[in-house]
Amino acid sequence: MADKFDRQVRVLEQTTVYQGFFTLERYRLRHSLFKGGMSDPLVRELLARGGAAAVLLFDPRLDRVVLVEQFRIGALHGPDGPWLLEVVAGIVEPGETPEQVALRESLEEAGCQPEVLLPIVEYHPSPGASSETVSLYCGIADAAGVGGIHGVAREGEDIQVVALPYARALRAVADGRAANAATIIALQWLRLNRRRLRKQYS
């Protein structure tokens, strides 16, 4: 493995191709090669996004997971349609921390306020095309009475909240209902840490 300090990227040209809800940028660049030297000039498009925060709401006393279901344009042509079962998530706005977003979105999307927020991982969901990073958390919460329709109307949100028994939430990954990275990662993490969380927070 090459030393990380030997790695360079030289941006030759950067242009904004589209500016809307998201920004699409085109780069002409060269980068260091593992065998030494620099690559030929390459052209790459980048969906420029900032950070996002996502939180798996878990009630260790009831052993229930709170998830949300909503329309997602990226899954429009997916085999099961564009309504996905997900963890709560939102974009980090300027001046906000990922933790603040996790708490805000939990209340807006699920009507549920975590008592404790535990970091799981920060990762790049699609580094081949997007600059987005996701800060993923587990929120210890009370799932009793959680449910209904939530979301911010001015943002076009129409979100159904479901509180599932732990085993049923895991089955949602196996049967393809929870088919997005943040939810899969969070539920697999919960599978590894559930016993500890139930002992500590029940």
- Under 8 Å between Cβ of 117 and 101: no
Rg (CA), the chain: 20
Q: Do the strands 51-59 and 133-140 form a parallel or antiparallel pair, or are they unpaired?
A: parallel
**136 Cβ contact list (under 8 Å, min separation 6):** 53, 54, 55, 56, 87, 119, 120, 121, 122, 123, 182, 185, 186, 189
Helix (H) or strand (E) holding 121: strand 116-123
Residue in 86, 105, 122, 155 annotated catalytic? 155
Q: Is 25 a catalytic residue?
A: no
Q: How far apart are CA 166 and CA 65, in angstroms?
A: 6
Q: Cα–Cα distance between 82 and 69 in angstroms, integer?
A: 10
For 181, counting Cβ atoms within 10 Å of its Cβ (0-12 exposed, 13-18 middle, 19+ buried), the class is: middle
Angle (CA) 20-84-195 rounded to 5° is 120
The residues that are catalytic are: 155
